[in-house]
Structure 1
């Protein structure tokens, strides 16, 4: 039986109605890994249990900024567009998935939401970090890398890349305080957190976008292969 991977959706207002959509790269990466993608639109809190009952693994994708009210901050001037209903849905989805120990992979915003779901906080913009950071919203093709990341041993990513990898970058927010049970497993040379994993739950987060690189970079595809293969292995 192929593993069923639930994938969250982005949403945007179009012609006075919100539409759900997803970058096809996420779907293709899961299909190439041998999984069956199942798109998960926003539903009520009660129906999240029904969604989770249909899937073996969960992937939370990128998108807009996370509303700072959800990590007890007021909005700062460089905060981007937010989506409070999506935030609340994905936080609840991640928390319920963690209770059921459903393997979960967060990508870019998905990693940030995961951190908030476990009680962590974010920098609303990289300019608010105490250190000087370089450009993390790259001006290069999505499938191309823009900077180096360093990977810690005995981590989800180390078994694929060893101690370093070249990653792409499309974000202006970043993790500040880690959520409960989460640990850093990769960071860029300006000390921005690039990947996390939970200490004992099957939950991982990646700040870069491997789905955009996976068609031409087998190691990036291996992230999805490993994620799907390890579900109920």
Structure 2
């Protein structure tokens, strides 16, 4: 029997619609600047930039309905609404044509960003970890199995803060489609069951503060919501 020097942490998980079982999270990958208007909003060129990826720790995931403390070390916390893809079958160098076979399901998620720390990292040409990979920075609603969804591409995606719409687009506005993202990512990393992919955020990202209620939606999926303490 394996012995540890201290009790290991519990495996992070996400709820799954229609079942009491949970989806164990292995890694969280995020796609940067994958909606044209958001790319322009952040000073990029959507016609030239290939997809790029950053990561969050698996235990950054947070269930919908949670109260999240305003994170430390920042005065500029931003919301980024995203479609989340849950990988159920691993593989490397996956073709676009086979990508959908590797998807377990989809969810509505939010990439919380300490924008001030991210900007400092950008200015100094350093990694984004301090701005992106912090505690409770990846809220995710219950996953819906891919077999229960007919056409996620046509779904609307939007986010509200205290009832006011901040972000709104459709999944078809993605620069790189879900299948293309999986194909690109699987060249750089061997994907495994339990990996989550946050596929990018539409334009309209902005600051949130303590007391705000954030609600995010992807048409046909369970909404994501949380309140900042």
* Richer in helix (by share): 1
Higher relative contact order (CA 8 A, sep 6+): 2
Q: What is the TM-score of this pair, normalised by structure 1?
A: 0.24
* Structure (1/2) with the larger strand percentage: 2
